[in-house]
Amino acid sequence: KAGVTQTPRYLIKTRGQQVTLSCSPISGHRSVSWYQQTPGQGLQFLFEYFSETQRNKGNFPGRFSGRQFSNSRSEMNVSTLELGDSALYLCASSLPAAGDTGELFFGEGSRLTVL
């Protein structure tokens, strides 16, 4: 069974550009959540999608957005990139419909560098 796939794995952008990251969950998983990891702040929750609806959003500016497609694949977008957006972006998928408790399966992450 294929795991969670994130693309691209590495990318370099310049300030002011925008970026789109993709996450394909494990087949059958309907919940996809996104996280940002930086050396200073550690892991922080960005948002979560379930059945194409954003179910929860963390404390990030509106430049960070996401969406989920009918096949559960998810994308996140960051517009007007800032140096501080350099981070490892991780997504995780889980199975339960109720969404409260269930094991999380993480992708390898997309490492974004903003110059």
Partner 1 sequence: KNEVEQSPQNLTAQEGEFITINCSYSVGISALHWLQQHPGGGIVSLFMLSSGKKKHGRLIATINIQEKHSSLHITASHPRDSAVYICAVLNYGGSQGNLIFGKGTKLSVKP
List of residues contacting partner 1 (CB under 8 A): 31-35, 37, 42-45, 47-48, 50, 55-56, 58, 88, 90, 92, 94, 96, 99-109, 111
Least separation, in Å, of the C-beta of 66 and partner 1? 11
Would you give the end-to-end CA distance of the chain in angstroms? 37
Exposed/middle/buried for 108, CB within 10 Å: 0-12, 13-18, 19+?
middle
Neighbour tally for 81: CB within 10 Å: 19
Least separation, in Å, of the C-beta of 16 and partner 1? 26
Least separation, in Å, of the C-beta of 79 and partner 1? 21
Q: Do 25 and 95 touch, CB atoms closer than 8 A? A: no
Q: Between residues 37 and 65, which has the closer beta carbon with respect to partner 1?
A: 37
Q: Between residues 41 and 80, which has the closer beta carbon with respect to partner 1?
A: 41
CA 33 to chain centre: 6
